[in-house]
Each structure stands twice: as structure tokens, then as C-alpha cells.
Amino acid sequence: MPPFPSTSPMSPPPAPSPIPLSVPPVPASVPYPDTPVPASGPTPTPSGIKGAYWPSWLAKKVPSSSIPTTYFTHIFYAFVVPDNTSFQLLVSQADEQSMINFTSTIHSLSPSTKAMLSIGGGTGSPILPSMTSFQDNRASFIRSTIDVARNCGFDGLDLDWEFPINSENMLNLALLFKEWRLAISIDSLTSSKPPLILSAAVYFSPNALLSGTFYPGDAIRNYLDFLNPMCYNYQGSWDTRATGASALLYDKSSNISTSCGISSWKENGVPSRNLVMGIPLYGNTWKLKDPNDHGIGAPAVGVGPGTKGEMSYDKIVTFNLENNATIVYNNETVSTYSYAGTNWIGYDDTNSITAKIKYAKAQGLGGYFFWALGFDSNWTLSRTASMAWDDGI
């Protein structure tokens, strides 16, 4: 598969061409040593998880002090990268101070909001296969993550591996989760502090890259507090032949959709309450072949406005206003698009996000998360999602 040119380090790579809805049964999870399951860490609160990733490189644009924490229960500091030799988190003094400032600010604004440290991302993911391949490497990694989390005041740890691609990766990932949970439990006992939360960001489907290689469902269920499927980037700049709804909830023609991904995770043994559905705060753009043919799937000849065919929601709002764009909400797919001349943008707005949150609650999901803070427009979508989630609680 060609490399994915993306301005979003937490963007899944392009989904393969749609395949029929009749997919083979989900195979059993990758085996791993049968050891007692340590006590799990904190479980999601009854009110659910309202998460968002905060790209630390956007600190000047969106300082942590500007985040309206009332809209979020979990905020992820993204990303910290392990050293490619020692596999430890070798944090510079400046980065350590940045993380301490982040956690202290979040906790002062909202003591109940959890500050999570996310590890990996687009830059760090290539290091993870080597790190997970040997027990000593995993041990060094695990010790350093717990030390950094405790020293910097984080409430939990999150792994963003983009993406495990074979059965060996998945076996080692299962071992990592098991050993990480055990180390977190021991740390809690020895420090008399609450256990660190443990989560992971994953492909929208348990069938990684739709390749036939499946995530280890048993390890995810037994050792993680919750799981963040990245339910977006189904269409994008890697295919400019036609426009696409890049984060659609439903797709009658294929299994590349959020509803299919969530259903597959459940079939792979992950409880609904442990699934936290990803929602993008950005859209994908195309250049229409014919400005008069502008529906979803309309012929296109290239990327549209934005950076390499991507545009953050705040810029989409501005573009739509400045270009008097026509905005269309598609109820069948639960997605929104706008067009002006030959420019076409597919994204989520207040309508589609409200519908997605209702879907998440109806499915009994543990919550939702956004990628990423800094892309919203005056916190409009963050507020919309929070209010929709709280409606009826």
C-alpha cells in the first residue's frame, strides 16, 4: 500500500477499495500465555467518555489553558515517541515541563478531567514493532511510560500504533497489554495511588487495514480500560477519482463505515462500553470534474482546497462562508458535504455529529473522542457532541 500523505499524524491510512458486506467470520484472537488477569484499572464513568487528542505542536494556537474542559472527560497529550534503541521515553527537560504544564492546567481547570499521555502517533509507530518484539524491550518501555506518567501528573497512558500489520505484531501487542497492565497494577499497590488508565487508539475495524490480520480481542478486553477506534479517513487524497464521505456512519455498498467497524469490534469480543468512537474535526476535499455533478461519489480530478486534500473544520466553516458554498447533510450516510464551483469538501458538522452521538448511545458505547483539538471552530462541534451525549442522562 502506498504511503499515506496526511497532515494528521493520527489519521488512519487509506482504506482499501470497498469490499462486499459479507465478510468472513472473525477469527479467534491471537493466543498469548495464559496468566491470571491482574485487577483492571479505572473503568469508564457511568456518564461516559468525552475524549479529545491535543496535538502538543499546536500549543501556541491552542494552549491547554484555552481548552473548555467542561466538554471533555479525557484529554490526550499527543504524542510522545519512544527512543528507537532503548525503547524508553527519553523526555527532554523542555518536553517534561510542557507535559507538567499540561496536566497541571487541565487538573486546575477541571479536577475530574483525566489527562492522558498518548505514545506513538505517525512518528513513533515505526518504532513499536521492534519494541514489542522482545520482553526486555517491552519491560524498558513499560517502566519508562509509568515513570513519565507519574512524574508528570498524568492519569493514564494511551498507545497509538499506526498500525500492526501481521500476526506477529498482534501477538506481541497482546503481550505488551498484558505486561503493561500487570506493571500498572504493581505500581498502584506500591505507590498507594489509583492505577493508571490504559487505552489504545486503533484502526476503525479489528481487521487491521482490512488485511485479514485481526487485533487481539481477548487482550484488549482483559487489559485495556477502553479502546479508541479511529472512525475516519475512509476516503481521501489517495483516490481522486470520485468524492467520498470520509467518516460516514453508514454505507450500504461496503463494510467501510463507522457502523460496520463498531459492529466488528463487538464481534471480536470487545464490549460496547469499552468502545470509544472516533470523530474527525477535519474534512477531505476533492476537485469536481463537473461542477454540476456534485453528490457523494461524483467524478473528481484531484484534491480540492486545504493541505493535500485535508481541511480542519474551522477552515471549512470559513471556506463555506467566503465562497457561498452549498451545504448538504446526507441522512442516508450520516455525513455532510459542501461544494462551491469545482471545490467539494466532505466532513462532519453539528447535524452528523449529533446523529453519531445518538448512534453511540443507542449502541451502548463507552463514549467518543475527537481528533483533534485545534481543528474545531469556536468549540462548536465539541459543545454539540457534549450536549448530545448528556441529553437524557
The β-bridge relationship of strands 310-312 and 207-208 is unpaired
Catalytic, 162? Answer yes
Q: How far apart are CA 27 and CA 24, in angstroms?
A: 8
Q: Check if the beta carbon of residue 244 is closer than 8 Å to that of residue 336.
A: no
Residue recorded with cell 448511545: 361
Among residues 27, 30, 360, which one has the least CA distance to residue 219?
A: 30
Q: How far apart are CA 320 and CA 299, in angstroms?
A: 21
Among residues 80, 145, 69, which one has the least CA distance to residue 107?
A: 69
DSSP 8-class letter at 133 = T
Q: How far apart are CA 393 and CA 383, in angstroms?
A: 16
- How many residues would you count in the chain? 393
> Which is the catalytic residue, given 162, 179, 267, 322?
162
**What sign does the dihedral 69-55-312-237 (CA atoms) show?**
negative
For the residues of 335-371, what is the DSSP string, one character each? EEEEEETTEEEEE--HHHHHHHHHHHHHTT--EEEEE
Residue type, 60: K
Q: What SS3 state is found at 75?
A: strand
Residues involved in catalysis: 162
